[in-house]
Amino acid sequence: MRDLGWNMAGERTLTQKHLERLKPEDRGQTLNDGGGLTGKVGLDRASGEVTVGFTFRYRAGSTTRSVGCGTWPRQALAEIRGKRDQLRDQVRNGIDPVEKAQADKAEAERHATEVARMAAEAAEAARREALRLTFSDLFGKWKERALRTSKTADGRRKGRKDGGAEIERAFTRDVLPHLGAMYADSITRKQIAEVLHRIVERGSGRQANVTLSNLRQCFGWAIGAGLLETDPTSHLKKEAFGGKEEPRERHLSEDEIKLLLCSALPSSNLTDKAKAAVKVLLATGVRISELLSAKRADIDLDMREWLIVENKSDRPHIVHLSDFAAGALQEILAIKDHDVWLFPNRTGAEHVCEKTLTKQIGDRQRGDKPPMKGRSKTKHANSLTLSGGRWTPHDLRRTASTLMGELGVLDQVIERCLNHTEENKIKRTYQRQQLLAARKDAFALLGRKLEELAGLRDSGSVDVQICSSNS
């Protein structure tokens, strides 16, 4: 073996010069640097450069183990010896370097896994945060996707007739100022209750119930759409806020109708259109929404028919017009303020909100209540007050039904006049096809009775008769 200039006594004999004098033919030789550090001469395959891979050898019990300390010349000799010294210190302290290296590797892998998990969770949290909706955002989606008026493939109407405008007005007033900026998935039952209690405190118990119902629909839709997991309105009861609402049975008596048509309505300071609208509601029993959304083209005074295309039952409905009803509608048609709508809104782009007339009538039945905001107390504040108590446009529909019944009109004929839905499909088909004549007679009877009450016909001239389903 060629003399490389160092001994094999286990003492530190290697120097930088010794390593630099190594030749390719020294490949495979073992070099001893002392302290358990040995090196094996090799060649770099790519460059042909002489290398020395150093190993620290030590005893672990009855076993001899080795740990790599680096390769010269990629690491300097001093760096390699420093690594050897660290390993020697571990052995002196009872630490097995191999076992420690294995443990360190396992810990590093565990740490890397944990870091990756935390990074994935952070990314998912960021994704969810980006998708979180404020209640204002949620309401906007609900309004657009569920409340906006549209047609299904089979021609049926979906959504609200007003496109959610009324709900939006109510939410803008009572809900959005308190919940709008909050994340929808963080809203609590307590916070919903606080909103409802505020409405009750201003004396609007019924509105509190309506708001609860609308909020429940909104959150229910969100859950169905996969936007939320829970509904904060669950377990909230109307009884705790606006109280349980009993079905309204109010209808106007004949004396009240006389007073309304002959005195109250003419002196009410309502617009001519509004006055005529009240007469139409009495004479036809239509829903106020059906009247206020009516188009001029829907009314044929020559045929004495009013075709209601869109209504609660989602099927066309013909209203036969008595002389009384036709006269009231003629008053409305004579006011040519729009080419399409009977009751256009201010922009003319749509019909007025169904609450418009309701509010005007309610504002003239104030009783001891202060006047509406922005209005002074006038002689008209109670001009529509009747002896039976407060009444609404829907009560006129109930009044029309009651009058028909008192005039002998059969219940099934009244139901069809009012376009109530018959649950039995066979009966529904029969009524639609066979009761047209009976309905026409019923509307005529009702019209003559109203003419009598309005003083336009002699008392007792209305013949009481049974409108047979076979007529």
CA 75 to chain centre: 66
> What is this structure's pTM?
0.56
Q: Cα separation of 85 and 430, whole Å?
A: 104
Give the CATH superfamily of 16-95. Answer: Integrase, DNA-binding domain (3.30.160.390)
The secondary structure of 262-314 as a DSSP string is IIITTTS---HHHHHHHHHHHHH---HHHHHT-BGGGEETTTTEEEE-S-TTS
3-state helix, strand, coil in the chain (%, to 5): 50, 10, 40
Is it true that 16-95 and 254-453 share their CATH fold? no
Q: What angle do CA 436, 441, 446 make, to 5 degrees?
A: 125
Identify the pLDDT of residue 304.
95
Collapse the DSSP code of 74 into the 3-class scheme (helix H, G, I; strand E, B; otherwise coil) and give the result. Answer: coil
CB 104 within 8 A of CB 87: no
Eight-class DSSP state of 244: P
DSSP string, 51-69: EEEEEEEEEETTEEEEEEE
Contacts of residue 335, Cβ cutoff 8 Å, sequence gap at least 6: 272, 273
- For residues 98-130, one letter each, b for 16 or more C-beta atoms within 10 angstroms of the residue's C-beta and e for the rest, the string is eeeeeeeeeeeeeeeeeeeeeeeeeeeeeeeee
Q: Show the tokens assigned to 150.
A: 């549209």
Residues 6+ apart with CB under 8 A from 150: 157, 158, 159
| Strand, coil or helix: 192 | helix
Tell me, what's the pLDDT at 287?
A: 93
Under-50 pLDDT residues of the chain: 1-10, 376, 464-471
Task: Write the class of the CATH domain 254-453.
Answer: mainly alpha
| Average pLDDT score, the chain | 86
Alpha-carbon dihedral 75, 77, 79, 82, rounded to 10 degrees: 150
Q: Which CATH class is domain 135-240?
A: mainly alpha
Model confidence over 398-415: pLDDT tens digits?
A: 999 999 999 999 988 998
Helix axis angle, 355-362 to 393-406, nearest 10°: 90
By CB atoms closer than 10 A (0-12, 13-18, 19+), residue 407 is: buried
pLDDT on residue 60: 85
Sorted by where each begins, the domain ranges of the chain are 16-95, 135-240, 254-453
- Return d(Cα 324, Cα 444) in angstroms, integer: 9
